[in-house]
Structures are given as structure tokens and as C-alpha cells.
Chains A and B, each alone.
Chain A
Amino acid sequence: MRLLGELAPEAGRRSLTIRWEEGLTLERLVFRIAEAEPRLRRWLLDEKDQINPSVMASLGGVVYDPHWEGSTLVPPEQEVLLLLAMEGG
């Protein structure tokens, strides 16, 4: 499963390969990325080490909210796009 992270400004567009496992949920995926990439941690997790409420995930073009839909199962061979859904102005 490959992850695309358009998340941390200093990281720009980046690609990570995360090993898929049976029962991998969206919530667990975000935490795995935060563990694998310390530089992304402070963008993915808030000061209480919970998922930053502004993080959104696109799986196959469908957008999920990890806060409300963290139990969504991530299929194998799935490209995931993480976004920090900061609002405009």
C-alpha cells in the first residue's frame, strides 16, 4: 500500500510505502505514518497525540474523515492521500 502525503508543508509532496496488514484501519494507518515519519508527526497528531482534527484521507477518490470514520478498513494495494483540510478564507 502506498501513501501519498500532501500534508506537511516542509515535506511537500512525498510518497511512503507502508506495509499493509490484515485489519488495518484508517485511524491505525495515520498513527503508523506518524511513527514512521517523525517530521510528519506534529502535523498528523495534536498535542494530546490524537489525530489532528483537520486531517482528511482520500481512499480511491472517496474522502474519509479519520475522526468520525477511523474504523474504515484500508484495502491492500490502496493508494491513500492524506490532506490537512485547512479551510480557506
Chain B
Amino acid sequence: MNGFTGKLLRVDLTQGTCFSEAWPIEDLFPRFLGGAGMGAKFLWDEVDPNVDALGPENRLYFFTGPLTGSGLQSCCRFEVTAKSPLTGILGEANCGGFWGPELKFAGFDGVVLMGISPKPVYLWIHDGHAELRPADHLWGSDTVETTARLKEEVGESKARVMSIGQAGERLVRIAGVVDDEGRTAARTGLGAVMGSKRLKAIITRGKERLQPASKELLQTVLKRVRDQVKNNVGIESLRKYGTAGGVEGTHAVGDMPIKNWTVGSWTEGAQKLSGQLMAETILTGNHTCYACPITCKRDVMVPSGPFATPKSHGPEYETIAAFGSGLLNPSLELVAKANHLCTLYGLDTISTGGVIAMAVEAFEAGLISKEQAGGLDLRWGNAEAHLDLLEQIGRAEGLGKLFGQGVRAAAAALGAGTERMAIHTKGLELPYHDPRAHTGLAVNYATSNRGACHLQALTHQVDRGSTFPEIGILEKTNRFDPSGHVDEVVKTQHVSILVDSLGLCRFPLGRMAFTLSDMADGLSAVTGTHWTVQSLMSAAERIFQLKRAWNVRAGVRRETDSLPERVLTLALEGGTGGHLPDLERQLSTYYSLRGWDADGRPGRATLEAIGLQDVAAALHP
């Protein structure tokens, strides 16, 4: 089938074997699409939710989507899926760049990693072949060094690499998997899963090129998207300033968490963290992902001083909030340094910022002693101490060994009221958009299948003017609407699933430079099967409910569809004007729309209506 290679690479790390299998793509694609959808399907079929996330029974999946590497603008992405060691539920992380397309060019739609290798290894995939090679000499190396040495070792300077750093090796629960240019499949600790399997890296190189079923239709879509990208104000801002271009605007509306979510306004700090200032100071250039015209990625360098950083992948908005406003560090240089350290160690910047903020708040409150802190002076704005703790987290040493387990585990260990400082949902540290500024984020965070995630629905974008007319979202919504505009939450959760399953980027989508109709037409052109927006949304609902079903078996219930108390009860000055979200009201409406019972379990009829008869039988024996 066009859009797919038709081959899956299965790797038995225990036995040290790799084998290519033809997979039933004609049956699976119409129902689960690819990417995140395939990850969910394989997780359901192959992984018991009760396994040890760091044990041999957990599996780690890398799946591309049918649009990955197709040549359609911004279609380069892939999904990583496993049981998360951080949350204990479905873990997934998405990544852009070039690795996903290269995997397809090497002949595979996805990689399934099983078991545990007795010794450190890396996986070399090239032109239809795959082999495991010793990686003892790389164990302990950071991701940048690993990438350079692997390319030299296999003799392919243009190969693409996904690797873990020391954090993944040492099973730090907030570890991610890093590509050869600093992008990270960051969230939910999948770097630790890879480390538990003693798999240091996957390096790929391929020369195949996939052909679309209809070149003519694909070219029509390409031209349409090109015209939509041109002169698009949002795309221009991304190109010039990256997502950091939104720092001051986001702060102004109260959407940028400050001081571990306790303060509503920090104007002087936000001004020193903006993408506009970055462009005048530490920015050295920008780069892009495969087939993407946006070039939102930053290159930065801090030549000297306490936060000296070599030329490297620069920070995005989330990272700026994590190490800047979250910790009261008004310094782009500091953020660049922290970002680079996270790349080297292979850490999720959102979670790392969140755990450090909790540590600082606990220390300032006297709940962590100086002895426990090992001499670190963990105060707000003490950047050097924050960086020291970051490095401890990366190496699982000292106080970092505790906080690298995530805020939920840290609070459980420390007790003494630190629970109120642990800002998470289902164990995943909250990203840096505030439900007090955009009430729809409340029910989205509470019900996102991997834990709190701003990317799982797009209502905060709809609050700022993004529209999706093909699915009835025609105008900007009121960000303080107490109902949380739950209908839009459900619809945009499905849109996000489509993005993560097909392999495209949500940035042009959110700025209306790539529409749902473009998605349907592009998929039709690539695969030769007919898709409409409606059929895409139906598939998305199926995938969402499948993920929820797996999570229900893993223990998710209404009581876990929650938000930190602080976010629900602490009214702030500044751009939120003291607004608070009404999560209970939103959840009741949401459950009704989803066809779930009072405890958040998808109903039998709901599942059967979308073709998940086997899932219905499992949840309702």
C-alpha cells in the first residue's frame, strides 16, 4: 500500500535478533492510521498494563505515519509508545526532524523493541537490513557524542540517530530519547524504557523513496498548502522567533506559569525571556525538519560567562517557561544552558523544570534540609543551584536521584505537605500552559491519555483565534467560559490524534496554514484510498477510546482525571483576572460526550459502535 513500506522491524533484545515482518497494513491502516494509533493498537495487543515498565515484558514502539516522509509539507514526525515508568499508564512521545523519514527510506514503517539485552547495544538499520552491535564503548556518553561516534562508526555521515544519554541509561523516570539535532521524544520517560533494555541508540540510513498513489493530487495539495503558508502571520512569527515568540503574549494573558504555578504576573522577567530578545542576543540561526518550510527551530550560542553554551539547538517556549518563569530565572542564557544540558543527558525539559521547581519550593519552605540538598542552595532565581540539580537529575545522583523519579514520587517520599507542590496529573508534570487562563485546558489535562498534555487538545489555540471550520469550530472561543467548551475539547483531541498518527506537525495546523481538508486530501493522494474529514475524525475517536481503554485496565478512573489543587483553587492576579476552572462541571459534560460511565470507563455500546468489539469485551466481561 502506498504510504507504507509494508514492513515492520521486530527486535528481540534478549536473544539479540532482528527480523523483518510483513504486517497487515491493509487491515490496520483504515482503523488505526499509523504513528500514535498504531502504537496504541500494538500496546493493546501485546503489552499487559500490569507489567513492570522497566522490565522485559514492556515493549517500546517507534511508529511512523503514512504521511511521514511523503514530501507533503511538515510531514516528518513519528511516535514512540510504551508503558510509562513515570506514570504507570500509556506513555507516548512525538518527535520531528529527519529520523522518521529515514526509517521509511531504510525500508521500515516501524520498530518493535522487545526484551532486554544482556549488554549495551545499538541498532543499525540500513537499506532493508538491521543488526544489533555492541555499545559498551558508548555507555555513559552524552547524546551529542554518541551521535558523532555512531555516524563515524557506521561510515554514514548522513545517517539519523535517536539515542539516550546518561539519564536513560540510569533509568531516570523523566528521561527522553534525543535525535541527532537535539529534538527529543521527551514526555513520559520513554528514555528510561530504552535504557532498561540496554539499547543506547537506533541509527538509520536508507535510499528508498516512497511514491504517492496520485502524484497529481499530491501536487494539488502541496500548492494549496504553500499558498496558505505564504504571508501567514503566525507562520512568519514562528520562522523569526520560534515558539519563544509567544512568551510575552502568553505571559500577558496569564498563561505562563510562574514560580511553580503560584504567581500570576512577572512582566520584567517575561520581557527578558522572549523570542524577540533571543533573536537580538543568543540566536545564531534557525533550521527546520524534513520537508518543512517553517524553519521554527532555533540555533543558539552563549560564547562566555557562567552559562556558556556551544552552538546548539535552542529552547522552545515550554523550556523557557520551565527554567525561566517557573524558577524565576530572567535569563535566556541560563535557559539555553539548561536546554543544552537536557539534550546531553536526554531529559524532558518540561518535567525537569517541574521537578526542580518543586525542589526549590520545598527547600524554601524548610521541607528539604540543607543536608538533604547536599549543599545546594535551592532558592528561587539561584540559577547555578538549579543547573547543579539538573546535572544531578541527569546522573541520578544526590537529591537528583529522588527528583528524577518525578514530582509524584518525590512527594510520596518526602511527605510533609510537599504534595501540594507536586504539579502533575496522573504523574506527568504539567506543561506550561495554565488552565486558569484557558479553562478548556482543565478537562483536557485531566483526560489526556498520557497525563497532563497541552498538545492533546487545541482549545487554547481556538481561544486565540484558530478555527477548524470542517468540524464546526467556526470562531474564537471565550477562554474564561466556565463550561470549558468541552465539545471543542473532544473535537480537537481527535485532531491531535490525527496529527500524531499520520505524521504531520501541529504547528501549521494550529495557525490554519494546513487544514483538515488538506490532511484528508493528502492522505488520499499518498495512499490511494479515499479519505474525508469525517472518516478521519471517526478513526481518531477509535484511537482515543482505545488508549483510554488500555489506561482503564492500567487503573485510570475518574479520581485520577484530576488537576493539582493549586490550579483549581489558587486564584492569581495578572492576566487570568482571578479566574478558576470548574473541572467537575467540565468532567461531567465530557464523560457524557465520550459515552463513559461515571467512573470514566468507555461503555460497551460506545466501543462497539466504533468497531472495538474486542476492547468492549475486555472492559465489560
- A residues within 8 Å of B by Cβ? 6, 9, 12-13, 42-43, 52-54, 56, 58, 61-63, 65, 67-68, 81, 83-89
Contacts and interface: CB of A to CB of B under 8 A. Distances in A.
A87 B461 contact: yes
A87 B479 CA distance: 13
B247 interface: yes
Contacts of B234: 54, 86
B325 to A, nearest CB: 11
B240 A9 contact: yes
A4 to B, nearest CB: 11
A56 to B, nearest CB: 6
B276 A6 contact: yes
Given A12-B276, A67-B476, A88 B246 contact: yes
Interface in B264-284: 265, 267, 276
B61 interface: no
20 contacts: A9-B237, A9-B241, A9-B245, A42-B233, A52-B465, A53-B465, A54-B249, A61-B267, A62-B577, A67-B476, A68-B478, A84-B249, A85-B249, A86-B245, A86-B250, A87-B460, A88-B244, A88-B256, A88-B317, A88-B320
The 9 closest A-B pairs by CB, nearest first: A53-B465, A88-B317, A85-B249, A89-B243, A86-B246, A83-B249, A53-B476, A63-B575, A88-B243
A63 B574 CA distance: 8
B42 to A, nearest CB: 28
Given A54-B234, A67-B476, A89 B316 contact: yes
Interface in B39-98: none
Nearest to A47: B231
Interface string B162-199: 00000000000000000000000000000000000000
A61 B318 CA distance: 24
Contacts of A88: 243-244, 246-247, 250, 256, 316-318, 320-321, 432-433
B317 to A, nearest CB: 3
Given A63-B254, A85-B250, A88-B317, 18 more contacts: A9-B245, A13-B276, A52-B233, A52-B465, A53-B464, A54-B464, A63-B252, A83-B249, A86-B234, A86-B246, A86-B250, A86-B464, A87-B460, A87-B510, A88-B244, A88-B318, A88-B320, A89-B243
